[in-house]
Structure 1
Amino acid sequence: MRSRVLKWVLLLTVSTAALAENPSMRIGWEDWLPYQYRDTAGELTGLDIELMNAIAERAGYNLFWHKLAWKKHLWEVAAGSIDIAPGASKTPEREEYAHFSVPYRTEPVSLITVKEASISDLNRDTLLSLLDRGFTIGYVTGYSYAPWVNELIDAGTPGLKAAKSEEYLSGALLDGIFDGFFADAFSAVANLKEAREQRGGDQLIYTYTLEEADIYMMFSKFAVGTDVVDRFNQTITAMHNDGSIDRIVAGYLQ
C-alpha cells in the first residue's frame, strides 16, 4: 500500500512539475488551406499549425487548439478567453487589445482572378482602372489587406464587395458572381483548385501580388504578459536564424 501511495505521489509530482515547466496556452484556428485544416485522417495540420506547435514547444509551452471563426477569434483575444491568434496582420485597432510578436512568416496578399487582367503591376491606379472596367472584386469582412486596399474598402469604393469567407469567394469566382477577390495567394489557389475539382471545371487561375505582408502572432493583452511575448520573440528569432521556420514553410509553399 505504501509503495502504491509513494508511486502515486511521485507521478503527481512529476506531472505537476511538467505542467509548471510547460504551461498551457489557448489558441484558435479555422479551416484555411494550406495553413490550418484537418487532413483526411481528421488530424489538425497545416503550415500555421506546424509553425505554432514548433515555436511553442521550443519556447516551453503547450498549445490547446480551439476552432473559431476569425471574427470571433479576435473578440476572444480581446476578452482574454483565447491567448493567441496566429496568422495575423498588424493593425492599430488590433494593437489596442493585443501584443504582436515579431513576424514569423510572410504572406503574399494578392488579387485572385480567373480572368487575364492584362496588368504588369497591381497598385492603386491599376486596381481602380479594373473597377472602372466593371470588375467586381470581393473581400472578407474583418480581414486586413494592403494598407491602400484597406483604405479603398473603408471608403466604400464601388466594385469592392464584402463576403463572409474565402471559401464562399472561391465558389463565387468560379460561378462568375465575382471577377476576383483579395486573399493570400497560396490559400486562395488551394481553395480554388478544390472547388474547381468539385465542379469539374478547368479555369486558369491568375494571381496579382499586392504586397508580401509580414505575418504575426497576436497575444491577448488581457491574458498574456510581455515577458511571455518576449520569450516567443526570442524563440521565433532563433528559429529564423537556424532555418527551422524556413524548413517548415518549404514543405507547404514550394
Structure 2
Amino acid sequence: MTFLPPKRFAWLLTAILAGIPLPWARAEVAAQPPVRVGYIDFPPYSYTDERGQPAGHLLEFFEQVAQRAGYRTQFIEYPSYRLFKTMENGSIDMCPSLIRHPVMSQYTLRSRYLIARVLLNLYYQGQPPPTQLDELRNARVLLIQGLVYPGSPLAAVAENPTNGVLTSTAPTHRAAAQMMYLQRADYLLDYQDPAESGFKEAGLPVLPHVTLLQQDFTMAFSQASPRARQLRDDFDGAIEALRAAGQLPEKYRAIFPYADEAQDPPTPAQ
C-alpha cells in the first residue's frame, strides 16, 4: 500500500473540502467539447453586442463558473422559441431559465441555486396607474415576442374574451419602448432590467409602471445531453467553491440554494 506524503495529503484534503477541481479532474473535463450555452436577448443579463460578441453580466458569471469547474464555453444566441427546441433536443447543453419554466421544466435538469431575481412590470402611458387588473378591460397590451410570463395575474385577464384585452408583440425590448411612445399600445408587460435597457437604447425616458410579481432564475441543463447531471453537479460545485472563497461577482453575492421538488426530475427512459 502506498501512502501520500503528509503535505500532499493535506493539500489534497483541502482541495476536496474547498471544491477545487483536482489536476487530473481538470484535465479530464478540459478534453471534453466546450459547454454550449444558449441565451436570448435579455439585456443587461445576456445579449449580443455591436461587435457580434456575447455580452452581459449573466454570461460573464456563467463563464466564471465554467472556468472554476474546468470547462470551456461556447455562447450562442437564439430567439426564444428556438432556444426551447435546442434545449429539448440537446443541441445546446445549458441556458438561463426561470426556475419553474412552463416549457423547459419538462426536459431540463435545474441547478440547485437561484442565481437572479427579476421584477415583472406593467408599464403605462396616457393612462392612470392601474390599481386593479380589471381596469385593463378593452386595453391594448404589448408583450415581448418569445418571452413567457408564468404566474402573471394579467394572463387570466387577457385570456378571458369578455375583458376585450387586445395583445400584440414587439420583436425587441427597444422596439417595445418605441411602440409605447408611438401609442401603439396602452400597456407594456416586460421584465424590469431588459425593459429599462430598451428605453435607454431607444433614447426614451422609462415609463411609469406597477410591479406584478418577481420571477426567479436558475441554470437549466438539457436532459438530452449525456453529461447533463455531470455539468449540473460540476457547475453547482463551482458556485459553492466561489461562494466559500468570496469570489462571486457583486451582482451574484446573494446567490443561494432554493428548495424545489422539481429541480431533479428522473432521467427519461432510453
TM-score, structure 1 as length reference = 0.74
Deviations 1:106-128 (A, max 9, x none): 11111123346335xx6xxx122
Pair 1:117–1:189, CA change in 2 (3 A): farther
Q: State which drifts further: 46-55 or 85-94.
A: 85-94
Q: Which residue of 2 aligns with 1:9?
A: none
CA separation in 2, counterparts of 1:152 and 1:59?
45
Pair 1:207–1:163, CA change in 2 (3 A): same
Q: Which residue of 2 aligns with 1:136?
A: 140
CA separation in 2, counterparts of 1:242 and 1:152?
47
- Please say if residues 59 and 235 of structure 1, whose CA atoms lie closer than 8 Å, have aligned partners that are also in contact: yes
What do you get for the CA RMSD once the two structures are aligned?
Answer: 3.0
Runs (4 or more) in structure 1 with deviation over 6 Å come to none
2:148 counterpart SS class: coil
Could you tell me which amino acid in structure 2 is paired with residue 206 of structure 1?
P
Q: Which residue of 2 aligns with 1:188?
A: 195
- Please say if residues 90 and 216 of structure 1, whose CA atoms lie closer than 8 Å, have aligned partners that are also in contact: no
Match of 2:120 among 81, 95, 109: 109
Deviations 1:7-37 (A, max 9, x none): xxxxxxxxxx976333321112333321223
CA separation in 2, counterparts of 1:92 and 1:18?
35
Unaligned runs of 5+ in 1: 1-16
Could you tell me which amino acid in structure 1 is paired with residue 210 of structure 2?
Y
Q: Which residue of 1 aligns with 2:262?
A: none
Identical columns (%):
21
- Please say if residues 37 and 73 of structure 2, whose CA atoms lie closer than 8 Å, have aligned partners that are also in contact: yes
Pair 1:100–1:160, CA change in 2 (3 A): farther
The answer to whether the aligner puts 1:56 opposite 2:66 as a matched pair is yes
CA separation in 1, counterparts of 2:240 and 2:134?
39
CA separation in 1, counterparts of 2:239 and 2:126?
39
CA separation in 2, counterparts of 1:154 and 1:241?
46
Deviations 1:125-162 (A, max 9, x none): x1222x12x43212235422251344445556632514
Pair 1:31–1:229, CA change in 2 (3 A): same
The answer to whether the aligner puts 1:174 opposite 2:181 as a matched pair is yes
- Please say if residues 36 and 92 of structure 2, whose CA atoms lie closer than 8 Å, have aligned partners that are also in contact: yes
CA separation in 2, counterparts of 1:89 and 1:160?
29
TM-score, structure 2 as length reference = 0.70
Pair 1:154–1:249, CA change in 2 (3 A): farther
Q: Report how many residues are paired.
A: 223
How many angstroms does 1:164 deviate by? Answer: 4.8
1:33 counterpart SS class: coil
Match of 2:107 among 97, 120, 128: 97
Q: State which drifts further: 81-90 or 217-226.
A: 81-90
